[in-house]
A and B are shown apart, each in its own frame.
Chain A
Amino acid sequence: MNLMEKLEILTDAAKYDVACTSSGVNRPGMPGKLGNAVKAGICHSFAADGRCISLLKVLMSNDCAFDCSYCVNRVSQDVKRASFTPEELCRLTIEFYRRNYIEGLFLSSAVVKNPDYTCELMLQTLRMLREKENFWGYVHVKAIPGADPVLTEKLGFYADRMSVNIELPSQKSLKLLAPQKSKEKILAPMGQIRDGIKENATDIVRYKAAPRFVPAGQSTQMIIGATPESDWQILNLTEGLYKKYSLKRVFFSAYMPVVEHRNLPAKTTPPPLLREHRLYQADWLLRFYGFEAREILDDDHPDFDPALDPKCNWAVHHMECFPIEVNRAPYEMLLRVPGIGVKSAMRIRSARRCAQLDFDGLKKLGVVLKRARYFITCKGKSISPLPMDNPAVIAGAIRERGFSQTPIGAPEQLSLFDPTPRDKVQCLTGQI
């Protein structure tokens, strides 16, 4: 099998992994070494699906010993199998990197033979890349659940970011779809990496030359829509992961029906892309806007409104906080106005120190007023074109277009009185 075929098979097998970020670590270039790393990360291309291509995202091998029913590479599936040798993978990475195609390597793997063997293979590749090829760019590596902690630790010293996929949002689903994985097995390496990072932080203070352990932190991902969890459960889990395991990112991937199985949605189900989008919006609110999960959803509202994003939804349910005065409101409140993001809020904060802001000024700062106008005043004046006393009116005005609204029922004869249930039944039968 030539390199081209291998690359195609192993890219195809890895593409459902969402995380492709190269962020989180600033590593200045070093004379004699190829590459550097930039804290914000750099995307180098965008695939036809609009997702960024930042790293060379491939599997080491797709020859898996496990049988997770949602996965294309499970042992019982009839697919072409291929494996890279460490040399091939190093060559590809270096040559792509030199041409500015990629930011580094994203190395994942199916479980070849057993977790330890797989880990050894990946370790060999990373060692060669860092020590022999003097590669100084970004490396993201997947920890393999069930592998020896010593191997995971060694991987962590070569990689910038590590991730363990939590796969499914609850233990019950995990048992159903991925019988060889369990919550404990997945969380064990996650905890180990967290502790390693913490310990390393103190080492670095003490010894300047201490090797860095997973400097860009760890991330995880889960599949949305393959199992019946509600958005509220998922968001709660996400918040827990950020708090307990100090993760840098939690990724969501809308389930693509690639395999037929009795425990899975039918192959014709479209991927829940809107739901995934809403989850990411909520994730941003958690990380950058100072929201808490229970402010966004709760037991009474366990799912996102498909037509209203979570921030707008929060705002129309808390109209008592609005309108706020742009020239005086605290930064935290500016962030909560629909239509004002981190950038706009910071621009407002810096511009209002020098001059009183009016709506024209806001426009010049690049603040989009389409939704914000219902929630703010400038110098005490509002430009809301609608009366502000009914939140439902505001909600209707800032609703996203393009999604079907509540389904419209069959047209009916207007009547002075509301039709009683009995009327409806009579209408159906045609008797009066």
Chain B
Amino acid sequence: MIMQIIYRYDGSFPGFLCCVAQCFFDKSLPAGIEPLDEPQATLFPLREVETDPALAARLERSITGRISRQAWGMVQQGFLTCMEEKEMRLLRFILLGYKVGPQVVRLSTNRDVHAMDKALLYLKNEAHYHVEFLRFTDYGEFLGAVITPNNTVLPLIAPHFCERFNTENFMIYEKTHQMGFLHQRGGRREFFQADSIQFPELLQEEKGFRALWRAYYETAAVEGRVNPKLRRGHMPMRYWPNMTEFQKD
């Protein structure tokens, strides 16, 4: 029997894992799982699930051991997506995994696995868009960038930029999820939470290079072949506001 109860957790990944464990303790599926900061929109009874790191670690061992490492990776990344009702989907995915074993990742015609696949693809694609279209601004001391993705892509793109710009100090701020990443020359790196960030004024030299880039961008197109639809297909307009090419100083 499905007990009509809603789990509420602190919004963190270990917190979610504790909800999964709770579901096992209760021996029944909840009607929904929501983060604590979500406004209450239901009359079902609520239960606050406490986050216990030890329990979360136990679940990680269990999933990697009894399902597979790949499935664990999918759960981890699935948590970063903006999938509808992602917690319930992930929960059902994990339950299915316990039932059928490692092959769960390949059951792409199953309803939940299919939804996961789609969401993960979106996450991966959006992360790649940000590897491509993220633009840094040189503030003298450091390079700064602001992005507004739908999925939480920062953990996925940070390693790329750390490797590429190991000689630079840089910061990437993900406005949608109020989350940032800081990298310092020499290797110090960390994620941080911030409600908003105030960047310094643009330097004169920086303005010069921005103008040069815009001039290059304008000139590089061949007039006889202008094709706005193709451009939008490759570079969705959603990302344009954060790109130097389309900004005015």
Contact = CB atoms under 8 A, between A and B. Distances in A.
Given A4-B215, A101-B213, A44 B132 contact: yes
Interface string A75-110: 000000000000000001001101111000000000
Shortest beta-carbon contacts, A-B, top 4 = A50-B230, A47-B221, A29-B163, A48-B221
A93 B24 CA distance: 57
Interface of A: 3-4, 7-8, 11-12, 15-16, 28-36, 42-53, 56-57, 92, 95-96, 98-101, 134, 254, 256, 270-271, 273, 347, 350-351, 353-355, 357, 360-361, 364-365
A48 B231 contact: yes
Interface stretch (B57-65, B76-84, B164-172, B195-203): B164-172
Contacts of B217: 45, 47, 53
Interface residues on B, range: 35 or more
B47 interface: no
30 contacts: A3-B212, A11-B219, A28-B163, A29-B164, A30-B166, A32-B166, A36-B163, A45-B133, A45-B245, A46-B234, A47-B220, A48-B226, A49-B222, A49-B227, A52-B234, A96-B209, A98-B136, A98-B138, A100-B135, A101-B135, A134-B167, A254-B225, A271-B224, A347-B108, A350-B106, A354-B106, A355-B109, A360-B109, A364-B108, A364-B109
A124 to B, nearest CB: 22
A4 B211 contact: yes
A258 to B, nearest CB: 9
B39 interface: no
Given A42-B132, A47-B231, A96-B209, 8 more contacts: A3-B212, A12-B219, A43-B234, A48-B221, A49-B230, A57-B220, A98-B168, A347-B108
A397 to B, nearest CB: 25
Interface in B217-248: 217, 219-222, 224-231, 233-235, 243-245
Contact of A351 (B106, B215, B235): B106
A100 B216 contact: no
B157 to A, nearest CB: 11
B230 to A, nearest CB: 3
Given A7-B216, A98-B165, A357 B109 contact: yes
> Counting chain A CB atoms within 10 Å of each CB, which of B136, B217, B219 scores highest?
B219
> Counting chain A CB atoms within 10 Å of each CB, which of B137, B222, B244 scores highest?
B222
B164 A36 contact: yes
A271 B166 CA distance: 44
B138 to A, nearest CB: 7
B145 to A, nearest CB: 8
B215 to A, nearest CB: 6
B134 interface: yes
B36 interface: no
A42 B131 contact: yes
A52 B216 CA distance: 13
A32 B167 contact: yes
Nearest to A56: B216
A134 to B, nearest CB: 8
A350 B228 CA distance: 36
A16 B225 CA distance: 11
B107 interface: yes
Nearest to B210: A99
Given A48-B221, A99-B244, A354-B106, A4 B213 contact: no
B143 interface: yes
Nearest to A354: B106
B140 to A, nearest CB: 13
Contacts, number: 143
Contacts of B244: 99, 101
Contacts of B108: 347, 351, 364-365
Secondary structure of the B contact surface, majority rule: helix
B200 to A, nearest CB: 16
A20 to B, nearest CB: 9
Given A32-B167, A98-B136, A46 B212 contact: no
B176 interface: no
B125 interface: no
B209 A99 contact: yes
B225 A271 contact: yes
A256 B132 contact: no
Interface in B127-174: 131-138, 143, 145, 161, 163-168
Contacts of B209: 95-96, 99
Contact of A96 (B109, B213, B227): B213
A6 B224 CA distance: 23
Given A28-B163, A271-B224, A7 B215 contact: yes
Nearest to B121: A366
Given A47-B231, A50-B234, A365-B108, A7 B137 contact: no
Nearest to B168: A98
> Counting chain A CB atoms within 10 Å of each CB, which of B107, B108, B138, B230 scores highest?
B108
B103 interface: yes
Contacts of B224: 256, 270-271
> Counting chain B CB atoms within 10 Å of each CB, which of A32, A53, A134 scores highest?
A53
A11 B221 CA distance: 10
B96 to A, nearest CB: 13
A354 B103 contact: yes
B114 interface: yes
A233 to B, nearest CB: 24
Contact of A34 (B136, B165, B213, B228): B165
A12 B244 CA distance: 20
B165 A53 contact: no
Nearest to A29: B163
Contact of A353 (B106, B131, B219): B106
A99 B225 contact: no
> Counting chain B CB atoms within 10 Å of each CB, which of A28, A36, A43, A48 scores highest?
A48
